[in-house]
Amino acid sequence: MNELVARFVSNVGIDQPTAEKALGIILDFLQKEGPADKVQALIDSLPDGAALLQAAQESGGGMFSMGGLMGAGSRMMAAGLTMGQVQSVTKETIAFAREKVGEDTIGEIVGSIPGLSQFV
C-alpha cells in the first residue's frame, strides 16, 4: 500500500479504496490548478501516484461537476468522506508532500492555488 494511503487509513480512519480515491482526486485537483512542474515532482514522489491520478481523471466528476477547490471537496464527499475527513486528507497530503518534495515546492503549489492555504 502507498505510504500516504496508509496514513489516510491510519490517521483519518477511512478504508483503503476510499483513501486511494481521495488521493487521486487531490492529485487531479493539484495537477489542474497548480504549477505543472511542481505538481509533477510531487506525483513522481508517490508510489502509484500516476495510477491514482489516472483513475481519478477517468472517473471524472460528472458532466455538471464544478472545478477548483469546491469541486475537489465535492468529489471527495461523493466518494464517501465527511467534510472533516476531506480536511484531514488534505492536511495529511500536504504534510506528506513537504516530507517528500520539500517546503519550497509545496509552498509554491499552495501559494499558487487560491483558497488552498485555508485548508492546510
Tell me: the pLDDT tens digits for 49-90?
889 889 888 886 554 467 788 889 999 999 999 999 999 999
What pLDDT is attached to residue 63? 46
pLDDT at residue number 29: 92
The answer to whether 19 touches 89, Cβ cutoff 8 Å, is yes
Which ranges of 1-120 does DSSP label H, i.e. alpha helix? Answer: 3-7, 16-33, 36-45, 49-59, 68-78, 83-101, 103-112
45 — pLDDT class (breaks 50, 70, 90): confident
